[in-house]
Structure 1
């Protein structure tokens, strides 16, 4: 494993940065690319702030950072031509459900075209190992729960974002059918939340948060006045949507396990694997859990349903345990407390000043 070179797309984002940290800690060399659409770069720095902090936390350097877009096929060609890449971890993509409904062409262009360019370049340079950042949205509105990997995908997708993930999985299946040596693991996430235990890297949405936890923490820290709860007339215990929330550090370990599986085993073909806890919580349950974990009251207001939202979605995560030897170990209280630690230390997200001395001392 030591010295293996991983190419990470969308590496500076929420999920990408936590995974890069996990890869560096475990001895991988890392090259990253990001188009910076969801990043903060502070004055005088070339690296996004999230990756600067990752380097400080790990005491290790990212081998190379590229400011670029996967739709630039010439750039991708130069990256692969000049590096002996072993495996690709593909996070890059737009991911807001509501925005995808308003701007479907933007999502199809960015997510589909960028990934096709990536796959074509991988094929050209004989890089045939890929871990793909997929989503539980490929299942759409499930007919029963919990959701296993054998459930149909694409048929009930409720938004263009989910359809892009579904379409890309179908493309990857075809690639594996045509080239049996390829090995692709598609990790279908169920609602990543929380932050690194240090509180120094976490989730920073651009503008108004599209996901529940950062909205809660911004209300709690006083950035926003109240939380919007989208609908209370769903067929659940309290009328609000149910989701399977997964700690971001557990998710990062899942990616490490996927890389290990590709490297250390003969694992050809396309493999879809759920990453979740197997437990669903309503929106109001999450709010109450946050208040218990932090002692902070979260004012909220019930508003109309949000287009594209499914009523209840949670995973059957047994396949991940069987195939990857992975299981979520952190509960909802850990998710809430870590998210709050990040928000308290960084009220303005990555634009907040960071104390490097504290980071270094925390590693001793």
Structure 2
């Protein structure tokens, strides 16, 4: 299949582009502004779109929510004006907010707690309605904590911990006792999820979780020390009020499509990220 990949030069986009090619598809890059591209006809016959382009910083979204809606929702709307038969959207587990349950499945009500997650929920809605109207077959992949693969985003725990171990960053702030559990998934497993979604996408709309290994903050820091042989400097901070003690992904539905996380164990996540820190080690 010829698959247009928006955000193809981004952290996830580069890996998805390579995974599609490795699976025998023909990925086509779109690295520009998805709000202003004139139409998908310029890219020739397409079988699918993987829509990764967008804004993704939670704290930044509070400062400029209008921009987040403009890019994340407006870009999706623009691509849906003349879509190919299949459309796969990169969404976020942030659409669930703090659901009050440890293991989250796709039937859990959405309750986004920040403008970024809310804009992704709105993009999901537009896509679902387009699918209900018969305009496209659609899948939204709700990504949990994507890690490794040379990521340089220091808002991510694995990246931050490896950066502190290497000496590139001074320390990792740990809020509370470090027992909060989150779900970490390797970017290469995420890329394989997008390939699976493109290949299995049919009529209608499906939202699917993409998760990997549940681990606490303390687990991640201990694993970084074990894998790298270096301690991780820590600055203790008070716990965030109302922080969920555990958020894990139920990936049953995506697994039913044949996907499995193959590289999301902590040691692999950290080993790959540590390799990316090599130029910065002191």
Task: Tell me, yes or no, if the aligned pair for 2:112 and 2:118 is still in contact at 8 Å.
Answer: yes
Pairwise CA RMSD: 2.0
The DSSP-based 3-state class of the residue aligned with 1:244 is strand
Tell whether 2:120 aligns with 1:186. Answer: no
Question: Which structure 2 segments of 5+ residues have no match?
Answer: none
For this pair of structures, how many residues does the alignment match? Answer: 280
Structure 1 CA distance for aligned equivalents of residues 240 and 29 of structure 2: 34
Distance 1:170 1:309, change over 3 A: farther
Task: Tell me, yes or no, if the aligned pair for 2:8 and 2:17 is still in contact at 8 Å.
Answer: yes
The residue that corresponds to 1:268 in the other structure is 203
Distance 1:120 1:32, change over 3 A: same
Instruction: Note the alpha carbon deviations across 1:95-137, whole angstroms, 9 max, x for none.
Output: 1111112221221111111111111132xxxx12111101111
The residue that corresponds to 2:187 in the other structure is 248
The residue that corresponds to 2:53 in the other structure is 92
Alignment match of 1:105 (pick from 43, 66, 69): 66
The DSSP-based 3-state class of the residue aligned with 1:70 is coil
Alignment match of 2:3 (pick from 6, 13, 18): 6
Question: Which structure 1 segments of 5+ residues have no match?
Answer: 35-67, 196-201, 233-237, 349-364
Structure 2 CA distance for aligned equivalents of residues 96 and 306 of structure 1: 18
Structure 1 CA distance for aligned equivalents of residues 57 and 179 of structure 2: 20
Q: Taking structure 2 as the reference length, what is the TM-score of the superposition?
A: 0.93
Distance 1:178 1:294, change over 3 A: same
Alpha-carbon distance, 1:28 to partner = 1.7
The DSSP-based 3-state class of the residue aligned with 1:224 is coil
The DSSP-based 3-state class of the residue aligned with 2:168 is coil
The residue that corresponds to 1:257 in the other structure is 196
The residue that corresponds to 1:163 in the other structure is 118
The residue that corresponds to 2:27 in the other structure is 30
Structure 2 CA distance for aligned equivalents of residues 328 and 163 of structure 1: 27
The residue that corresponds to 2:280 in the other structure is 347
Tell whether 2:159 aligns with 1:211. Answer: no
The DSSP-based 3-state class of the residue aligned with 1:121 is coil
Distance 1:100 1:138, change over 3 A: same
The DSSP-based 3-state class of the residue aligned with 2:249 is coil
Alpha-carbon distance, 1:306 to partner = 6.2
Structure 2 CA distance for aligned equivalents of residues 177 and 116 of structure 1: 15
Structure 2 CA distance for aligned equivalents of residues 269 and 165 of structure 1: 19
- Max Rg structure: 1
Task: Tell me, yes or no, if the aligned pair for 2:101 and 2:247 is still in contact at 8 Å.
Answer: no
Task: Tell me, yes or no, if the aligned pair for 1:136 and 1:189 is still in contact at 8 Å.
Answer: yes
Task: Tell me, yes or no, if the aligned pair for 1:132 and 1:186 is still in contact at 8 Å.
Answer: yes
The residue that corresponds to 2:17 in the other structure is 20
Alignment match of 2:38 (pick from 76, 90, 108): 76
Large movers: runs of 4+ above 3 Å: 304-311
Tell whether 2:81 aligns with 1:120. Answer: yes
Structure 2 CA distance for aligned equivalents of residues 24 and 332 of structure 1: 27
Alpha-carbon distance, 1:313 to partner = 1.6
Task: Tell me, yes or no, if the aligned pair for 2:69 and 2:119 is still in contact at 8 Å.
Answer: yes
Alpha-carbon distance, 1:310 to partner = 4.7
Distance 1:186 1:171, change over 3 A: same
Q: Taking structure 1 as the reference length, what is the TM-score of the superposition?
A: 0.73
Alignment match of 1:173 (pick from 124, 128, 139): 128
Distance 1:306 1:121, change over 3 A: farther
Alpha-carbon distance, 1:18 to partner = 0.9
Task: Tell me, yes or no, if the aligned pair for 1:182 and 1:269 is still in contact at 8 Å.
Answer: yes
The residue that corresponds to 1:140 in the other structure is 97
The residue that corresponds to 2:107 in the other structure is 150
